[in-house]
Chains A and B, each alone.
Chain A
Amino acid sequence: MSADLRELYQSVILDHNKAPRNFCKPKCANRSAEGINPLCGDQLTVYLTVEDGIVKDVGFSGTGCAISTASASLMTQSIKGKKIEDVEHLFAGFHEMLTSDKLSKTRDEDLGKLSVFSGVREFPMRVKCATLAWHAMTEALHNTGQSATTE
């Protein structure tokens, strides 16, 4: 099997796909939004408990491919407890990693565990999968009441 397939489906991603973390609706969730990818039928909902500009709790539900499920799972772990502006900064860095060859070094360090998705860059068709939960989370943060779509 080729290296870039292994790189795309790293064991961390496969693990989070099989056993997604925070795969539930937090009790005190006060914001939510749905993410839909019409191309492949992925559909998930991100729930947030936002207090004093901080994401106190986060969870998600729905169905999707391994990339979108693992991305949602790892996202919940990386944004919990963070300030809204830090969450937005993190998404910008994550997006840059998926789409750009030149990643600034500071951002790379910020990303931590999320760097397991760097292999997605070689599979441009899958960028939408990796960002679906993040788009939904951004919608939820701004609480626009609309569903996020990757199309």
Chain B
Amino acid sequence: MTAAGGIAVEPADRRGSETARFDPVRARRDFPILQTEGFVFLDSAASAQKPQCVIDAIANCYSKDYANIHRGVYELSARATSNFEAVRATTQRFIGAAEAREIVFVRNTTEALNLIASTYGRQNVGPGDEVLITEMEHHSNIVPWQMLCEEKGAVLRVAPIDGRGALMLDEFEKLLGSRTKIVSVAHISNALGTINPVAEITRLAHARGAVVVVDGAQAVPHHRVDVSALDCDFYALSGHKVFGPTGVGVLYGKASILESMPPYQGGGSMIKTVRFEKTTYADIPQRFEAGTPNIGGIAGFGAALDYVNGLGLDGIAAHECELLAYATDALAEISDLRQIGTAPQRAAVLSFTLDGVHPHDVGSILDHEGVAVRTGHHCAQPVMEHFGVSATVRASFALYNTREDVDALIRALHVVRELFR
């Protein structure tokens, strides 16, 4: 596989191994931090760990291939530019976009969503119009729309979830109306693991003339995503959740829509000509990429996508599905454990509470036993409210987790039960 900037991202023996069975034990060895004895990492939904090839790619960029991009005529700058643009093409293929110019680099999913709200949203949402989201959204897919609605006198509508944490599609459909301008939904819920039927949601929304934004932060590390097949108008993701560095995110937008949108931030790179009387803006995607981007981070991000491609997302998804089933069965043996989020279509996220023990105490004890989990509201307070809890314990899995990790979690939960008898 060709990699950005002469960065070797895959061990030779993995090349063309898409059809070979995915081996999590072997993949785990690629992650330096996971070599620590007795350390079990079950918080990849917050941020994933980084394989050596990503760390090397960042170092290589700065030690061999670094200069500012889209500027110099000298060879190094040209090389840095072509490496950078190669990652755009890698990203395009990774999510099945039709063209590379539909890929806009941002800081993270949050910035991607804010970008849509402040450009497309400001341009197309007016007083009395509606934005439709779901009850399971992360705060970053709630607050930007609230801010937009407040500014424009528009209305934020929320489609409810059922007792399992699945979207009530019939209720969602009822909330879609002629005033609905934007529908924004998570592909996979970070707090519940629920996988939303995004293709169906998109079909329904398009029938009413609304554009569809998908928060894909939790989906991309676990499942093959094809934005063309989904037919969504925008798709947002974070590099750090897909084993890349922090500070790199992606906004995918259909070219025709991106072209109709005003700029996001003003500055260098996003212009054609600047005169004090009148500035003209660059074509997409540069129109949305003001200022020097995260060049080193994007080199690492490209390496991360190549790494995941090399392992094969179908194998990763099958492994995580098996792990989720194993963990779900194992949790059933812990007394008075309530699983939060039991939707039939679910990714490898397990949210739960233990009767009589606050999640924060569970988290401390688990950490003491070497198991890192997230506790709290997971930036999804409305989800907590729906289930009548203030917080949950969340164990989330990624490609490098194994049954042994689940076993360690169960052992640690027994320690909690022993302490809080």
Chain A residues engaging chain B, CB cutoff 8 angstroms: 1-2, 4-6, 8-9, 14, 18, 39-43, 63-67, 69, 123, 125-126, 129
Contact = CB atoms under 8 A, between A and B. Distances in A.
Nearest to A43: B390
B60 interface: no
Contact of A65 (B361, B368, B377): B361
B420 interface: yes
A66 B357 contact: yes
Contact of A64 (B358, B381, B415): B358
Contact of B377 (A18, A41, A64, A126): A41
B390 A1 contact: no
A-B pairs with the 6 shortest C-beta distances? A65-B358, A65-B360, A40-B360, A41-B390, A41-B391, A66-B361
17 contacts: A1-B415, A5-B368, A5-B415, A8-B364, A40-B359, A40-B360, A40-B375, A40-B376, A40-B391, A41-B377, A41-B384, A42-B390, A43-B390, A65-B361, A66-B361, A67-B360, A69-B358
A2 B359 CA distance: 20
B419 A42 contact: no
Contact of B364 (A6, A64, A126): A126
Contacts of A66: 357-358, 361, 420
Given A2-B368, A67-B361, 10 more contacts: A1-B415, A5-B415, A8-B364, A14-B419, A14-B420, A40-B375, A43-B390, A66-B357, A125-B364, A129-B360
Contact of B419 (A5, A43, A125): A5
Contacts of B360: 40, 42, 64-65, 67, 126, 129
Contacts, number: 54
A69 B420 CA distance: 14
B367 to A, nearest CB: 8
B406 to A, nearest CB: 21
A87 to B, nearest CB: 26
Contacts of B381: 41
Interface string B185-226: 000000000000000000000000000000000000000000
A2 B415 CA distance: 10
Nearest to B389: A41
B418 interface: yes
A66 B375 CA distance: 14
Contacts of A64: 358, 360
Nearest to B375: A40
Interface residues of B, number: 20
A40 B356 CA distance: 16
Contacts of A2: 368
Interface in B348-372: 356-361, 364-365, 368
Choose among A41, A66, A126 the residue with the greatest number of B CB atoms under 10 Å from its CB: A41
Nearest to B381: A41
Contacts of A69: 358
Contacts of A8: 364
A94 to B, nearest CB: 19
B361 to A, nearest CB: 5
A42 B391 CA distance: 9
B366 to A, nearest CB: 11
Contacts of A123: 364
B376 A41 contact: yes
Contacts of B368: 2, 4-5
A37 to B, nearest CB: 9
Interface string B403-421: 0000000000001001110
Nearest to A125: B364
Nearest to A128: B360
A126 B362 CA distance: 12
A1 B419 contact: yes
A41 B364 CA distance: 15
A39 B376 contact: yes
Contacts of A125: 364
A1 B418 CA distance: 9
Contacts of A9: 361, 365, 419-420
Contacts of A41: 376-377, 381, 384, 390-391
Choose among B359, B364, B391 the residue with the greatest number of A CB atoms under 10 Å from its CB: B364
Contacts of A126: 360, 364
Contacts of A14: 419-420
Contacts of B418: 1
Nearest to B377: A41
A42 B357 CA distance: 13
Contacts of A42: 360, 390
Choose among A1, A69, A123 the residue with the greatest number of B CB atoms under 10 Å from its CB: A1
Nearest to B357: A66
Contacts of A40: 358-360, 375-376, 391
